[in-house]
C-alpha cells in the first residue's frame, strides 16, 4: 500500500462511497453549486469529496437542488427510480450515500 502510493504521487482520492476507483474519481461538491445559489449562499462553498463516476451519478439522483423536489410525492416518485439502484449498494455504501445527501442540504451560515 505504502509502496503503491509512492509510485503514484499525484493520484486522486478513492471514491468516498466505495473506496475504489482511485484513478478515475471525480470531485463532487458536497453542497452543489446550483443549490448554494438557490439558498442564497454569499460565498461558494467549495467543500468537495471524491466519487467514482458510478456513485457520483447515483448521489445526484438523491440530491435535490431546490426545496420543492423534497416534497413527499416527488420523493416517492424518485424512490421508484432509485430503489433499483439500492441493490447495488452495500449497507455501508448506502449509509455513506445518505450522509452525503444530508450534508448537501446545508443552509448558508
For Zn ion, the binding residue among 36, 49, 55, 64 (CB under 5 A) is: 55
Nearer to Zn ion, 18 or 31 (CB): 18
Residue 45 neighbours by CB under 8 Å, 6+ apart = 29, 30, 31, 36, 106
Q: How far is it, in rounded angstroms, from Cα 75 to Cα 44?
A: 27
Per CB under 5 A, 64 contacts Zn ion: no
Nearer to Zn ion, 5 or 58 (CB): 58
Question: Beta-carbon neighbour count of residue 79 at 10 Å?
Answer: 10
Closer residue to Zn ion (CB): 8 or 88? 88
Counting Cβ atoms within 10 Å, is residue 16 exposed (0-12), middle (13-18) or buried (19+)?
A: buried
The residue from 31, 35, 52, 58 that contacts Zn ion (CB under 5 A) is 52
Q: Which is nearer to Zn ion, 70 or 72 (CB)?
A: 70
Q: How big is the site for Zn ion, counted in residues (CB under 5 A)?
A: 6
What is the separation of C-alpha 9 from the centre of its chain, rounded to a whole number of angstroms? 25
Which residues lie near Zn ion (CB under 5 A)? 15, 17-18, 28, 52, 55
Amino acid at each position: 500500500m505504502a509502496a503503491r502510493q509512492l509510485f503514484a504521487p499525484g493520484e486522486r482520492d478513492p471514491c468516498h462511497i466505495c473506496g475504489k476507483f482511485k484513478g478515475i474519481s471525480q470531485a463532487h461538491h458536497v453542497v452543489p453549486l446550483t443549490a448554494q445559489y438557490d439558498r442564497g449562499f454569499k460565498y461558494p462553498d467549495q467543500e468537495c469529496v471524491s466519487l467514482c463516476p458510478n456513485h457520483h451519478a447515483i448521489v445526484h439522483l438523491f440530491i435535490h437542488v431546490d426545496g420543492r423536489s423534497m416534497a413527499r410525492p416527488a420523493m416517492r416518485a424518485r424512490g421508484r427510480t432509485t430503489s433499483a439502484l439500492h441493490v447495488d449498494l452495500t449497507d455501508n455504501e448506502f449509509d455513506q450515500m445518505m450522509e452525503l445527501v444530508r450534508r448537501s442540504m446545508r443552509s448558508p451560515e
